[in-house]
Amino acid sequence: MDLSAINPTLLLASLMVAATPLLLAAIGELVVERAGVLNLGVEGMMITGAICGFAIAVNTGSPVLGLVAAAIGGAVLSLLFAALTQYALANQVASGLALTLFGLGLSALIGQGYQGIKPPSFPKADIPFLSDIPFIGGILFRHDFVVYLAIALTAAVWWALKYTRAGLVLRAVGENHDAAHALGYKVVRIRVAAICFGGACAGLGGAYISLIRVPQWTEGMTAGIGWIALALVVFASWKPWRVMLGAYLFGGLTVLQLNLQAAGVAIPVEYLAMSPYLITIIVLVIMSADKSRAPAALGRSFHASQ
Amino acid sequence: MTEILLQIDGLTKAYPGVVANADVSLTIRKGEVHALLGENGAGKSTLVKMIYGLVKPDSGQMMLRGAPYAPAQPRAARAAGVAMVFQHFSLFDALDVAENIALGMETPPPMRSLAQQIRQVSETYGLPLDPYRTVGELSAGERQRVEIIRCLLQSPQLLIMDEPTSVLTPQEVEILFETLRKLTAEGVAILYISHKLEEIRALCDAATILRLGRNVGTCVPAETKARDMAEMMVGSTLHTPERHPRAMGDVLLALDNLSQPSASAFGTSLKNITVSVQAGEILGIGGVAGNGQDELLAVLSGEMQAPAKAVQFLGQPIGQASPQARRQMGLLCAPEERLGHAAAPDMSLTENALLTGAQRQGLASRGFLKWGAARRFAEEIIARFDVRTPGPDVAARALSGGNLQKFVIGREVMQAPKVLVVNQPTWGVDAAAAAAIRQALLDLAAGGAAVLVISQDLDELMEISDRFAALNEGRLSAAKPTAGLSVDEIGLMMGGAHGMEVAHV
């Protein structure tokens, strides 16, 4: 066992990278659930985004275009879910599960011929001056811009939900869709928009894995991150900053246990591998013991009947 | 006469299978309180939804201040100066008062100045309200204030109020009327929907009566007898339940210093409740909704466990007994909320009869159901309580509210309970069915059973109960004989005005 092989700067820096896809997917799902929709298809939308982004980046040579395509791909797939649940009034749980299975299959189909290819590399955004700060500079300011985009998105979602009228209307729709309808708000339209946003975020998160974190394409490469994102939203009590905390905690533990494995710690690998899931859930369960609760209309279908 | 604000001409709206409104016309003048009267299903709600832009009429037209008026959505109605206070409040529990009000406005000011405006308006009209409290924690009366202030902040010219007093104590009703009179003095017209005739006589300047979707007449309420208005609504003469003198027997059910926290976050905890019911007696429990009624029923039925000695049946402690054990002993309950709590909506009447009757009627043996006996039991209920349905195989959901309520009450009455607890026995039931249900409860008591009626309909409680007590914030007042009880006393028992004050404009 050689713990000195673990470089703390590198560890903390890779923590931020590991957490970003999870944060992106979870913050999107948070918005969807605050609008009262339970979309269990996050995993499917992520993997679809991953391959859409990968394919476009390879074919155009531009990783940024790839990210845009990933967001569009995730959003388009989520529209399928929106059509099923908001217009055909299908069961949200079943539709979400179907979306995940469909997304996994679709991505495998698109991905044929992309295996073993290396995507164009993504430029790191070395922030001038700040990145030169010893230790902290290496951890915080030498990442690609998506890491910062994810943090900015968290802040924006928090601010929009708390302080803007659109955020208030979105929360109202998720809380009591009948009352929102009686006040004249377009419940279905608002929910479709939220679902689309969630899809775009999930797609972006997926592409972050295939273009930046790994970077290559393999079938099923999101490996359950979408499900973790779903659990994270619940345990974070539908609060954006807690989602970020949970994502970073999970990312950090994942990186740490990999490092520990590499350092040959005398704990069976299986225990190390399960530790991020266990510890993240325990911490968030303790934190969610306060009064906060789910949006009251979560998972319920809305139909404007008399 | 003052100028006409809203003129409605020949409005018709049909849904598949029913004509909700057929050729309805009415005229509302500035500064007038106009009553819209009618039984459940008479088409009152559909009519106001058309005025508020929630429903589009099939034919007919509306004129607002002489100009054609056809709101495509509530937003357009609000812009034209029409505001509405809903019967089932359109509020969001998890949001605070100011956020709820902002949602009902077209262009709300920033939160801080909105909070300031809310304080100002609420003080002017005697409706005190803290803008930053979470709505889920407010009482029914306070929630209504939120709705009213939401409307007032938009300076409406026509205010629609759908059954506004059903959740208020008599004192709160008086203060609400003061507020409404102030508004009409400022020229606001009010369309007031209710079936409480005495209120309408006290408040309204004109009345339009609907029956089965049609105009059946107009009247000046102050000059018309309540009974005449009621008969216009119902379309036939009314039968008043008869009370027979009856002897009181032993105490059958007693609550001894019962305190019980509520199971739900926004519920009311019961505090130190002590009361008893004798054989042959009907005890009426009044109070505004949400003051512990649901919790009290849950403790009595056994859905919620209480300390054993806090609930006593024939002197036996039964606080920990299961609902089945209580049924076996003869303590039966008919909860409110017909579809969901008292009956399983998608199951047939036979199955619903089985669900509570299996034990006392012997409809099951060794875990197997006796379908024949269950069916006969359901048929007996249908025959004796005049439930209008094609047969016992019909799903509970398919029955009208009044018919299902007759079935639900009948199912318990037919099991010959020693004690029967009912919650809201005639809520949303038409006048004829309500009279039949009340008669059944009176007959049951005359037969020596003890009956505990929880209701928000004070007239009903005065009509059938021997003693009256009121729930207020989870506490039960001392029970008093109903004979000679004044409205003021009742109001004070229900908690008075809950901190409201008369408007001082």
Tell me how close the Cα of A303 comes to any Cα of chain B, in angstroms: 14
Among chain B residues, the shortest Cα distance to A291 is held by B265
Residues of A in contact with B75 (CB under 8 A): 184
Residues of A in contact with B86 (CB under 8 A): 182
Domains recognised in chain A with CATH numbers: 3-126+141-287 (1.10.3470)
- Ordered DSSP codes for A167-235: HHHHHHHHH-HHHHHHTT--HHHHHHHHHHHHHHHHHHHHHIIIIIIS-S--TTTTTTHHHHHHHHHHH
Report CB contact under 8 Å: A295, B94. yes
Same fold, B4-234 and B251-493: yes
In chain A, positions 11-50, which contact chain B (CB-CB < 8 Å)?
none
Query: Buried (b) or exposed (e) across B102-112, using 16+ Cβ within 10 A?
Result: bbbbeebeebe
Integer Cα distance of B119 and B136 in angstroms: 19
Are the C-beta atoms of B435 and B463 separated by less than 8 Å? no
Tell me how close the Cα of A182 comes to any Cα of chain B, in angstroms: 7
Domain range summary for chain B, segments of one domain joined by +: 4-234, 251-493
Residues of A in contact with B15 (CB under 8 A): 306
Which residues sit opposite B64 in a β-bridge? B6, B67
Among chain A residues, the shortest Cα distance to B105 is held by A183
A268 CB within 8 Å of a chain B CB:
no
A79-105 pLDDT per residue, tens: 999 999 999 999 999 999 999 999 999
- Residue of A164, A170, A175 to mutate, interface with B, max B Cβ within 10 Å: A175
The ipTM (two decimal places) reads 0.79
Tell me how close the Cα of B212 comes to any Cα of chain A, in angstroms: 17
H or E, element range at A161: helix A145-163
B87 φ, ψ to 5°? -70, -55
Integer Cα distance of A110 and A103 in angstroms: 10
Q: Give me B4's structure tokens.
A: 């006409």
Are the C-beta atoms of B146 and B132 separated by less than 8 Å? no
C-alpha gyration radius of chain A: 20
Tell me how close the Cα of B74 comes to any Cα of chain A, in angstroms: 5
CATH fold of B251-493 reads Rossmann fold (3.40.50)
Among B15, B74, B99, whose Cβ lies nearest the Cβ of A184? B74
A293 CB within 8 Å of a chain B CB:
yes
In CATH terms, B4-234 corresponds, of 3.30.470.10, 3.40.50.300, 3.40.50.970, 3.40.50.620, to 3.40.50.300
A107-143 pLDDT per residue, tens: 999 999 898 889 888 877 777 777 777 777 777 777 8
- B490 φ/ψ sector (left φ>0, alpha ψ -120 to 50, else beta): alpha
> How many beta-carbon pairs below 8 A join chains A and B?
53
Helices A63-82 and A92-111: crossing angle, nearest 10°?
Answer: 140
Tell me how close the Cα of A95 comes to any Cα of chain B, in angstroms: 24
Tokens 């290819």 identify what position? A117
pLDDT tens track of chain B, all 505 residues?
578 899 999 889 887 767 788 888 999 999 999 998 887 667 888 888 899 988 889 998 999 988 899 998 888 888 899 998 876 667 888 899 999 999 888 778 888 889 998 988 888 887 788 889 988 878 777 888 888 888 888 888 999 988 787 777 777 888 888 888 888 998 899 999 877 778 888 889 999 988 888 888 888 888 888 778 877 877 766 566 667 667 788 899 999 999 988 877 677 889 899 999 999 999 999 888 778 888 999 999 998 899 989 999 998 999 899 998 999 999 999 888 777 788 888 899 999 999 888 888 888 888 899 999 999 999 999 998 888 888 898 888 887 777 888 899 999 999 999 999 999 888 777 777 888 889 999 999 998 999 999 988 888 888 899 999 998 888 898 888 888 888 788 888 887 655 555 544 4
Integer Cα distance of A177 and A37 in angstroms: 11
Which of B243, B270, B223 is CA-nearest to residue B451?
B243
Tell me how close the Cα of B45 comes to any Cα of chain A, in angstroms: 10
- Residue of B48, B90, B100, B103 to mutate, interface with A, max A Cβ within 10 Å: B103
Are the C-beta atoms of B423 and B454 separated by less than 8 Å? yes
CA distances from B173 to B199, B328, B404, B486, B494 (A): 9, 43, 31, 16, 12
Integer Cα distance of B371 and B349 in angstroms: 12
Integer Cα distance of A73 and A210 in angstroms: 14
